[in-house]
Amino acid sequence: MNPSPRVRFAPSPTGHLHIGNVRTAILNWLFARHTNGIFILRIEDTDEERSTRESEQSIFQDMRWLGLNWDEGVDAGGSFGPYRQSERLDIYRAHSEQLLKEAKAYYCYCTPEELEIRRAKMLESGQAPKYDGRCRKLTSDERGAFEREGRKPAIRFVTPEREVKFTDLVKGEVAFPPESQGDFVLVRGDGLPTYNFACVIDDHLMEISHVLRGDDHVSNTPKQVVLYEAFGWQPPHFAHIPMILGPDRQRLSKRHGATSVDAYAEKGYLPVALINYLSLLSWSSESGEEILNIDRLIKEFDLSRVSHAAAIFDVAKLNWMNGVYIRNLPIEELIDAVLPYLQKAGYELPERPVLTTMVSLVKDGLEYLEQIVDKLALFFVDEPAITDTDANETVKRESAQKIFWSFLRGLNEFDKLDAAHFKTLMKKVQGETGIMGKDLWMPIRVALTGHIHGPELPMVAQIFGKEKCRRLVQRAQKLG
C-alpha cells in the first residue's frame, strides 16, 4: 500500500460541475496538499445515456480555473489508470466473475416492472423496500427459461444478513441493522457496473486511503464495506461531509440561485474567494478567521474540525468575501480582470490611465466583477438617467436650483475642470448660497450621475470635463 495519503474526486460527466460537488473536490484537494498526499481526478462515466465528453472537458476547465491541480487522472496520467471508468469495463467484469465463481453473487432475471411492483407492495405494508432474494437459488433450468424469454440478467451481491459497522472520521461509529440491506445490483443487465461496485474496485486498485465525500453517500457505505470484505480487502478511511443546504434548509438547487461553478466564473467571482468560502462550509479555522488564503487553508486543514451540522449556502456571505478579495487585488490586475466585461458591454473604453481612475472609484463597491458594467455605466452614457424618486425630488427643490445657478455661473471662471477646481467651485457655491454638507453636494451628484449615492464626485467631474458637467447641470436645472 502506498504510504502517502491518496484521495480522489470522482465526478460523473453528466452536466456542469455543481457547487456542492466542487466543495467535495476542494476538501479532498486541501487534505491531499496538507498531508503531502496524492489528489486523483477520476471520471465516473458509466451512465452512457447522460455522460458526455463535453461535460468531462467542462469539469477539467472548472477545476483548472479554481486552481485545483490533480496529480493523477485522465489527462495527467499515473500508474493506476485508466482513470475513466468506461475504459475499465474488463476490470469490473473480471471482478464480477470472481464473485460469481465464489458464490458471493448471482444472476438476477427480475425485470424493472416486476421489481417496481414488489417495491410498491413493501411500501404499502410498511416495510423498507429491498430485494427479496428470489433469484438467489435459481436452477439452471429456470435460468435457461428466463434467457429464452430474452431477459438480460443483472448480477446481484449476496449481502450478509448482519449488522454492518464502520468508523467515520466525521460522524464516528455508524451502524446499519441487518434488515436495512438487501441483495444489491453489481452489474446491470446491459453489462455496465453500478456505482457501488465500480467505486469499490477503483478505490482499492487505485490505493485510495481516504474517501471524503458528501453525507448523502452514507447509505452507500455499508454496501461498499461488505464488498471490501467479500474481496478480502481493507476498506479506506471514510469521512462524510455534511450537505450544503439553501437558506430554506432544503438541498441546494437552482431555486436558490446559481449552482454551477462556471456560472460563478462567468459572473466574476475570484477562484480564491470561492475556494475560501466553500472550504468554510462545515469546516473552520482554529483561529476563527474567515479570510484565509490558499496557503493558510492548506496549512490549517484538519478533518477533526469538520462540523456535523449541515452547511447553509449564503450568497450574501460569498459576495462579501469575494468583495474583500476584489478590493485586495492590485489595481492593474483588477483592470485586466474587468476588461472582458466592459468590452462585452460594448463600451468605448478610454486610455488605460483614465480607465484605471474609473475602476479605482468604484472598486470598493464591487461584490463580483460583472457589476463593473453597471458601476461604470455613468461614464459611458451622454446623460445618466434620473429615475430614482429621491433623486428626482432632490433636483426639484428650490435650494437645488440655487446651487445649480451658482455652479453654472462659477464654472465660467475655469478653463478646465479637474478634481481640485471642482472642490474650489463647490466652496464658492457654498459661500454664495449658504447651503452646506449633503444638501450642497447631493443635487450636484444627482445632476452628474443620476443617483444620490456614487463614486467620489470631484473625480467624476474631472473625468466628465467642464462641458459635460455644464450640460448635465443645465439638464437638471430644467427639471426643476
**Of 414, 415, 416, which is closest to residue 428 (Cα–Cα)?**
414
Task: Determine contact, residues 247/317, Cβ cutoff 8 Å.
Answer: no
| C-alpha pair distances (Å), 262 with each of 14, 28, 62, 351 | 15, 20, 6, 31
Burial of 372 (0-12, 13-18, 19+ CB in 10 A): buried
Phi/psi of residue 257, nearest 5 degrees: 115, -165
| C-alpha pair distances (Å), 108 with each of 112, 318, 476 | 11, 49, 81
Task: Determine contact, residues 479/386, Cβ cutoff 8 Å.
Answer: yes
133 Ramachandran zone, left/alpha/beta (phi>0; psi -120 to 50): left
What residues are annotated to the active site?
Answer: 254
Tell me which H or E stretch contains 94: helix 89-101
Which triple of cell numbers denotes residue 108? 438476477
Tell me which H or E stretch contains 352: helix 352-362
Which triple of cell numbers denotes residue 407? 455652479
In whole angstroms, give the CA distance from residue 291 to residue 270. Answer: 13
422 Ramachandran zone, left/alpha/beta (phi>0; psi -120 to 50): alpha
Count of helices and strands (H, E) across the chain: 20, 12
DSSP tag of 379? G
Task: Determine contact, residues 339/387, Cβ cutoff 8 Å.
Answer: no
List alpha helices for 161-308, DSSP H.
Answer: 195-205, 221-231, 261-267, 271-279, 294-300
In whole angstroms, give the CA distance from residue 447 to residue 340. Answer: 30
Rg for the chain, CA atoms, rounded: 32
